[in-house]
Amino acid sequence: MNLKSVLSKDTINLHLKGTTKAEIINELLDILITANKIQDRGAALAAIMEREEKMSTGMKHGIAIPHGKSGTINDLVACIGISDKPVDFDALDQLPCRIFIMTLSPIEKTGPHLQFLAEISLLFKSSEKRGEMLSASTPDEILRILSE
């Protein structure tokens, strides 16, 4: 999967303002709504929160990957948000997060969803990539970092 085929400048926000998990999730959903990637905000929020209740999507190294599956989604959609300040996201390493990658996919299509999560996980094992993401000043820079 090519991350650039799923992400675009209008699905990247370098200055999330939320200070809680719920606020960050809502800001990420707003990105997808504004970019016309999802139409049913309520269903998308329910899918994300249902997944969060099972287990937090706060990973390690300051990254969270809130995700879910919804019958209102036709193809995998994703967005990236960088928070100006660290946010407690119940991460596995107990550290706050600043990089957020949200993805939603159709219930019946498992392959692209798993492939996206695997690719994102591999990408962010690199502390260099994480640092580049945090210091990026434009969505174009984020897209370049993801494609290297």
The predicted pLDDT at position 2 comes to 61
Per-residue confidence (pLDDT) for residue 42, from 0 to 100: 96
Could you read off the pLDDT of 32-67 as tens digits, one per residue?
999 999 999 999 999 999 999 998 888 889 999 999
- Domain positions in the chain are 3-147
Tens of pLDDT, residues 65-107: 999 999 999 889 999 999 999 999 999 899 999 999 999 999 8
9 in Cβ contact with 139 (< 8 Å): yes
Q: Let me know: does 25 contact 45? Beta carbons within 8 Å.
A: yes
Q: What is the pLDDT of residue 46?
A: 96
**For the structural domain made of 3-147, what CATH number should be given?**
3.40.930.10
Does 121 score more than 90 pLDDT? Answer: no
Q: Beta strands of 88-128 (E only): which ranges?
A: 97-105
Output the pTM of the full model. 0.92
Helices 41-54, 21-34: crossing angle, 10 deg rounding: 140
> Over 70: is that where the pLDDT of 1 sits?
no
* DSSP state letters, 59-74: -STTEE--EEE-TT-S
